Amino acid sequence: MVTVAATVSLTGPLALQGGQAAAGLRWWAAQAGNIDLEIIDDTGSASVAAVSYQRWVDGGVDILIGPYGSNLVRAVIPVVAHAQRMMWNHGGSADDLAHRLVFPIPAPASTYFQGAAEIAAKSGVAEILLVAGRGRFAAAVAIGVRTAATRAGLKFREMQLKETSEIVAGAAGAAVLIVGTFDQDVAIVRELHHVHSGLIACVAAGLPQFAKRLGPAAEGVLGPVQWIPKAATPQIGPSGTEYTRHYQAMFDSQPSYVAAQATAAGLLAEEAHRLELGSDDVQRWQTSTLLGDFTVDDSWCQVGHKAHTIRWQHGQQVPLL
């Protein structure tokens, strides 16, 4: 048996996404058949995550898969780096997480709203308003939006998360892009729904629970997703459509992109372990999973896989880009 370990937030502020990531890992382990998977609830605590990975490093666990959330991945990197251990990062997309021993699965956060900015430019708006929380993930998203807006010839304005009434007042005439927590995104979109007829996009819109929480207010909202199921068979593991079918049979629900990222991490880690690849080998590795292409550049950023943009229509996520 191959021993595998990961922390995810089964409780705490990231419990929604953490539960989906855990399901993606459990699906992979069940299908592999030779995986002894240990998952610990880090409760969203960086210290809990760091202590857990230290124990696994000391105990010689075969494969380390990272936690969900850029802040938690950031807390764990020094542990695995000091021990010269590799870790597969499915849950942290902040651009500053690049490290030669930490293999990124998702596209970087700076690319999240490039599609929304492109669509905004085509819609005829003159300005993008980015409403962003604090932290390095939000900062990376902001850098990407600013670059995309400049490229498209749009004005760019940034506002920190604050009272929704102030955001609503400042949104007139602009395409509004939001990067906060899931609950913050939902609250702002709910308020904007009543008064803002222009383009709205938010990170939370990439999750299936977004429309469940907002109902009709989700209609027309754009969001970034890391995964759109496709029928093409990748080099490693099942196709996206096959994965969706088997995942639904196991959990009685559709997989989110968060689950698919975690599954892709497991598939890549398992194959790399079988091939006995070291970190330099992985950097030269070009392959694919249900998530898409896997290619890491010289700075250890994921460049093979790209984020997609969806729009909510009639309760469904419709791919746009």
Give me the pLDDT at residue 89, please: 98
Examine the domain organization and report whether 88 and 138 are in the same domain: no
User: Are the CB atoms for 225 and 317 separated by under 8 Å?
Assistant: yes
In terms of Cα–Cα distance, which of 309, 255, 271 is closest to 25?
255
Q: Do 81 and 155 belong together in one domain?
A: no
Selection from 192, 159, 198, 157 nearest residue 175 by Cα? 198
Give the chain's radius of gyration (CA, Å). 19
CB 211 within 8 A of CB 315: yes
Nearest CA to 99 among 115, 117, 82, 124? 82
| Contact (Cβ atoms closer than 8 angstroms) between residue 239 and residue 255 | no
Instruction: Provide the pLDDT for residue 197.
Output: 85
pLDDT of 172:
85
User: pLDDT tens-digit profile of 197-251?
Assistant: 899 999 999 999 999 999 999 999 999 999 999 999 999 999 999 999 999 999 9
Buried b (16+ CB within 10 A) or exposed e, 273-292: eeeebebeebeebebbbbbb
221: helix, coil or strand? coil
Domain of residue 272, CATH code: 3.40.50.2300
Number of domains in the chain: 2
- Asked if residue 122 and residue 56 are part of one domain, the reply reads no
Which residues have C-beta within 8 Å of that of residue 269, sequence separation ≥ 6? 4, 63, 65, 88
- The structure's pTM equals 0.95
Q: Are residues 37 and 76 in the same domain?
A: yes
Q: Are residues 262 and 280 in the same domain?
A: yes
- Please indicate, yes or no, whether residues 189 and 130 belong to a single structural domain of this protein: yes
170 and 235 inside one domain: no
In the block, residue with structure tokens 């990272």 = 66
- Residue-level pLDDT at 67: 98
Mean pLDDT of the chain: 96
Is 299 inside any structural domain? no
Residues 102, 239 within the same domain: yes
| 209 and 242 both lie in a single domain | no
| Residue 306 within any structural domain of the chain | no
Shared domain for 166 and 237, answered yes or no, is: no
pLDDT given for residue 121 in this prediction? 94
Does one domain contain both 241 and 92?
yes
Q: What angle do CA 21, 25, 27 make, to 5 degrees?
A: 115
* Shared domain check, 19 and 34: yes
**pLDDT value of position 317:** 97
Residues in the chain with pLDDT values less than 70: none
* Burial classification of residue 12, based on how many CB atoms lie within 10 Å of its CB (0-12 exposed, 13-18 middle, 19 or more buried): middle
Buried b (16+ CB within 10 A) or exposed e, 228-251: ebeeeebebbbbbeebbeebeeee
| Range of the structural domain that residue 139 is part of | 110-225
**What's the CA gap between 201 and 148, in Å, rounded?**
14
